Amino acid sequence: MLPAPAAFIPELKALTSENLTYGYSSGKVQGKKDFIGDIETGKSAFKTLEMQNQTVSLSGDVAFVRHH
């Protein structure tokens, strides 16, 4: 896999919360630093993103967004 274009990384960092958790279908869960780091180095890459069956759950002033 190729690394993401360098210009993309600062924008991705700005758009994601410090509290980001990204769960993979394999059960692996990453925080923001590891998630972006794997994209930056090419360890993880996305050809497309399809948001299907998205759910939003609220807990006070926090929203949890998941999709399958």
Architecture of the domain spanning 8-66: Roll (3.10)
Place of tokens 């919360």: 17
Helix, strand, coil distribution of the chain in percent, nearest 5: 25, 25, 50
Q: Which amino acid makes up residue 58?
A: L
pLDDT of residue 2: 62
Q: Which residues pair with 23 in a beta bridge?
A: 29
| Joined tokens for residue 5 | 């274009």
The model's pTM: 0.67
pLDDT digit string, tens, across residues 33-50: 999 999 888 888 777 767
Confidence of residue 1 (pLDDT cuts 50, 70, 90): low
The residue-averaged pLDDT of 22-36 equals 91
